[in-house]
Amino acid sequence: MIDFSTQYLGLKLNGPIVVSSTPLSESLDNVRRMEDAGAAAIVLTSLFEEQLALESRALDEDLSRGTESFAESLDYLPEQSDYRMSHEVYLEHLRRSKSAVKIPILGSLNGNTPGGWVRFAKDMEEAGADAIELNTYALATDRSQTSSEIELQTLELVEKVCQAVKVPVSVKLSQSFTSIPHLVARLEDVGARGVVLFNRFYQPDFDIEMLEVRPTLHFSTPSELLPRLHWAAILYGHTNIDVALTGGVHSADDVLKCIMAGGSMTMMASALHIHGIEHIGRVLADMQYWLEKREYTSLWETRGCLSRRSVPDTSPFDRGNYIKTLSSYSLRQTMAAF
């Protein structure tokens, strides 16, 4: 029997697969099924800064204090009734999920300005959250805002949330930062215990007949895993905080790659929407088979073995990979196909 146990944010996990934030966990029955299928923890869906500010406007004008542009932007966002759960319903669901299962339950907060809404992290903690995942999804559309201002805003927000709670905080990051190793080091300085690589961007599609821009949500494919593996492999051994990977984790091979890159654990959402919650059990069984066949006794013997620090040739992680990949492309092969 392979030992799959691991640690993430100081929490003991019984395996490497965590259910990432998805509406699937909004049903208590699903929460139980996730634990039965072998999920090591569950991150609940997010409470959004915009939603919390809308809710608290009615209760407490002061709470919506973030930035001025933030208050204006609320006018373009969904109405309160469009959000799936009010914060009270959310907290109650968190409490019930905690008592329904033994695995850790993480609350998810989603926003990008350090306003009064961060106090909801404390509410999540009081409702029993074992940790807080802070999703800092941000899009730079303002030409006067520099990249360092965006990073500073993220750091300020993370620091505020870390100060508000005693439970560990992880930060779900977007991929589009110029220096991820530097940002991760700064996140560690302000108190984050982990990073989650990476948010998926949900770009809208263009309807050229109706001349409309429409929101789209496609489930991920395993090819999206590559940038996550790349950055986890670069970070391994260079940060004291945990690295989790989300985005494109569908199979046993994907989970193994994440751990070999140096990840502490992996997260699944799309694969569960496509194949069902019981898919977790099948992936764990496939991993067990793979590891036993190669005489491993624990998954962690493989951890970081393909990280940048461990491989003899680091060029695949650097510019060398880019040059080699482009140079190895043979025009003759392509022409032969025609």
Footprint on this chain of ligand FMN (rule: CB under 6 A): 20-23, 45-46, 108, 110, 135, 172, 200, 220, 246-249, 268-271, 273
Which residues, in sequence order, are bridge partners of residue 108?
46, 133
Three-state SS letters, 233-256:
HHHCCCCCCEEEEECCCCCHHHHH
From the CB of 187, what's the least distance to ligand FMN, in Å?
A: 16
> Which residue, 242 or 308, has its beta carbon nearer to ligand FMN?
242
> Which residue, 23 or 276, has its beta carbon nearer to ligand FMN?
23
> Which residue, 22 or 154, has its beta carbon nearer to ligand FMN?
22
Q: Which of 258, 336, 267 shows the shortest CA–CA distance to 302?
A: 258
Cis? peptide before 198, omega within 30° of 0: yes
From the CB of 328, what's the least distance to ligand FMN, in Å?
A: 29
From the CB of 310, what's the least distance to ligand FMN, in Å?
A: 25
From the CB of 176, what's the least distance to ligand FMN, in Å?
A: 15
> Which residue, 21 or 308, has its beta carbon nearer to ligand FMN?
21
Residue 215 has a CB neighbour count (10 Å cut-off) of: 8
> Which residue, 23 or 181, has its beta carbon nearer to ligand FMN?
23
Q: How far is Cα 66 from Cα 79, in angstroms, rounded to an integer?
A: 19
> Which residue, 32 or 275, has its beta carbon nearer to ligand FMN?
275
Residue count of the chain: 338
From the CB of 24, what's the least distance to ligand FMN, in Å?
A: 8
Q: Where are the beta strands (DSSP E) in the chain?
A: 6-8, 11-13, 17-19, 41-48, 105-110, 131-135, 169-173, 194-197, 205-207, 212-214, 242-246, 265-268
> Which residue, 197 or 299, has its beta carbon nearer to ligand FMN?
197
Cβ atoms 256, 302 nearer than 8 A: yes
From the CB of 55, what's the least distance to ligand FMN, in Å?
A: 16
Quote the tokens at residue 257: 């790659």
Residue 170 has a CB neighbour count (10 Å cut-off) of: 26
> Which residue, 168 or 247, has its beta carbon nearer to ligand FMN?
247
Cβ atoms 235, 243 nearer than 8 A: yes
From the CB of 315, what's the least distance to ligand FMN, in Å?
A: 28
With residue 149 as reference, give the H or E element that holds it.
Answer: helix 147-164
From the CB of 163, what's the least distance to ligand FMN, in Å?
A: 21
